[in-house]
Amino acid sequence: MARVGILGGGLAGLCLSYFLGPDSEVLEKDSTCGGLCRSYKKDGFTYDLGGHIIFSKDTEILDFELSMLGDRVGRFYRNNSIWFKRRFVKYPFENGLAALDKEDNFYCLYNFLVNKPGPQRNFRDWIYNTFGKGLAELYLIPYNTKIWNTPPEQMGTAWVERIPKPPVEDVIKSSLGIETEGYVHQLYFYYPKTGGFETLPRTFEEKVRQRIVRNFAVSKVRRTARGWQVSDGGDEREYERIICAMPIFDFAAALEGIPPDVEQAVSSLRYNSLIVVMVGVAKPKLVEQFALYVPQQDLPFHRLCFYGYFGNAYVPEGASSVVAEITANEGDAVWSMSDAEVTRHVVDGLEREGFLDSRDVIATDVQRTKYAYVIYDIDYEKNLGIVHEYFRSQGIELCGRFAEFKYYNSDAVIRSAKTVAQRVANT
């Protein structure tokens, strides 16, 4: 049997096995690997679990991802927008001010320039301190409240370095209508030519295929004299070392002998679930953009992605698709809707805003994901500190978005897998 057991076959688990080599084995709950990076096909339409694109400031990892994909990947220009008061405002919002009404434009610019940062106790304070009242109230507060499904004053700031701070001259230029680009590391991005974002984990899976055990839902993990025993309730496997690359909640529930304070800290970690609705339309092009961000409170979705942007490998000839993302939590009003109800809700919203005519809809599909977004609530660092400390003391490595419980994109997951694999190989 392999020396290292990797629990979870998402991107993290597959990369770990790729870096660790034949002395590792991946246990995956589902019949398909890839986790959040998976793509879906319905009636000729291919789409992902929300807008997934390949980009990174970590050039070593970006180059590595691109070299793994080879000629399977294309390069695209980021022309995303914000759908604001029925008009397209260039993304990020502070780079598109000239598209606003003069009053809104002035409100954003003036308050950005005269802004006097106050105390910073939470994410809401950070937004006001960094962007000023205008940008905060017209876009950042409504959009973030929607995507996080959490009031910004209940969120911490441990993650905000991900949000670039705009230089003063860029905001002034944008207000006057002089072109500026904003986040340049995302100005061009990469996306697979066929098969959706899932093509990325597939490239790793192809290399480690013989080391994957599918349909193995880890339900019990216990320490033995030689290492660890991992079971799915039927089959049992033994390893010297284990790496958790599955959601921390399910891993903690499976692990024998976890102390009550750690159990409490794990259950206090907060996350959002996601509903994704794909709508296929018998019209060639709905918009020019790939992604639209939607702060408007009376629309259920916070982001729309248009897969026709990537050409006819993603939509049938003469058709197009729009994929709506809705943040939800199990048991809340949206989550409790049936797939048909949530689809109707989305199509109604799209029709009201003029994106489509419901008579042109030729395909729909719904995907629900329990663990989609890590919430950086006020107690995040305290609870995560307890959790990480305990697993470190047990010699159990955590790797990946919901194992480490960090807002990781695929590049950060690959970076973490490389680091963890090196550490495990050396001990």
Applying CB under 6 A, the residues found at the interface with ligand FAD are: 7-13, 27-30, 33, 35-37, 49-53, 217-218, 245-247, 250, 274, 325, 371-372, 400-402, 408-411, 413
Considering beta carbons, is residue 217 or 363 the nearer one to ligand FAD?
217
Phi-psi sector, 69: left (phi>0), alpha (psi -120 to 50), beta: alpha
Considering beta carbons, is residue 158 or 217 the nearer one to ligand FAD?
217
To ligand FAD, the closest distance from the beta carbon of 247 in angstroms equals 6
Please measure the distance between the N-terminal and C-terminal CA atoms of the chain and give it in whole angstroms.
Answer: 18
Neighbouring residues of 351: CB distance < 8 A, sequence distance ≥ 6: 357, 358
Considering beta carbons, is residue 84 or 290 the nearer one to ligand FAD?
290
To ligand FAD, the closest distance from the beta carbon of 248 in angstroms equals 10
Burial per residue of 75-89, b for 16 or more beta-carbon CB atoms within 10 angstroms, e otherwise = eeebebbbbbeeebb
The answer to whether 90 and 81 have CB atoms below 8 angstroms apart is: yes
The pair of three-digit structure tokens given for residue 8, joined into one six-digit string: 């979870």
Long-range contacts (CB closer than 8 Å, 24 or more residues apart) made by 232-237 = 232/27, 237/1, 237/5, 237/25, 237/27, 237/213
To ligand FAD, the closest distance from the beta carbon of 274 in angstroms equals 6
Considering beta carbons, is residue 28 or 94 the nearer one to ligand FAD?
28
- Specify the DSSP class assigned to residue 165: P
- Specify the DSSP class assigned to residue 10: B
To ligand FAD, the closest distance from the beta carbon of 28 in angstroms equals 5
To ligand FAD, the closest distance from the beta carbon of 373 in angstroms equals 6
The answer to whether 366 and 343 have CB atoms below 8 angstroms apart is: yes
Considering beta carbons, is residue 25 or 94 the nearer one to ligand FAD?
25
To ligand FAD, the closest distance from the beta carbon of 53 in angstroms equals 4
Considering beta carbons, is residue 268 or 409 the nearer one to ligand FAD?
409
Considering beta carbons, is residue 45 or 189 the nearer one to ligand FAD?
189
Burial per residue of 378-398, b for 16 or more beta-carbon CB atoms within 10 angstroms, e otherwise = bebeebbeebeebbeeeebbb
To ligand FAD, the closest distance from the beta carbon of 30 in angstroms equals 5
Could you list the beta-strand ranges (E) of 359-409: 361-374, 397-398
Neighbouring residues of 279: CB distance < 8 A, sequence distance ≥ 6: 321, 322, 323, 324, 343, 346, 347, 350, 356, 361, 363, 364
For residue 163, with 0-12 CB atoms within 10 Å meaning exposed, 13-18 middle and 19 or more buried, which class applies? middle
Considering beta carbons, is residue 94 or 404 the nearer one to ligand FAD?
404
Helix axes 59-69, 410-425, angle to 10 degrees: 100
Considering beta carbons, is residue 213 or 362 the nearer one to ligand FAD?
213
Helix axes 102-113, 168-176, angle to 10 degrees: 160
Q: Is 337 helix (H, G, I), strand (E, B) or coil?
A: coil
CA distance 321 to 300: 18
To ligand FAD, the closest distance from the beta carbon of 128 in angstroms equals 26
Considering beta carbons, is residue 263 or 360 the nearer one to ligand FAD?
263
CA angle 187, 191, 194 (to 5 degrees): 155
To ligand FAD, the closest distance from the beta carbon of 322 in angstroms equals 15
To ligand FAD, the closest distance from the beta carbon of 414 in angstroms equals 9
To ligand FAD, the closest distance from the beta carbon of 409 in angstroms equals 3
Considering beta carbons, is residue 84 or 251 the nearer one to ligand FAD?
251
CA distance 151 to 293: 18
CA distance 43 to 280: 9
Neighbouring residues of 426: CB distance < 8 A, sequence distance ≥ 6: none
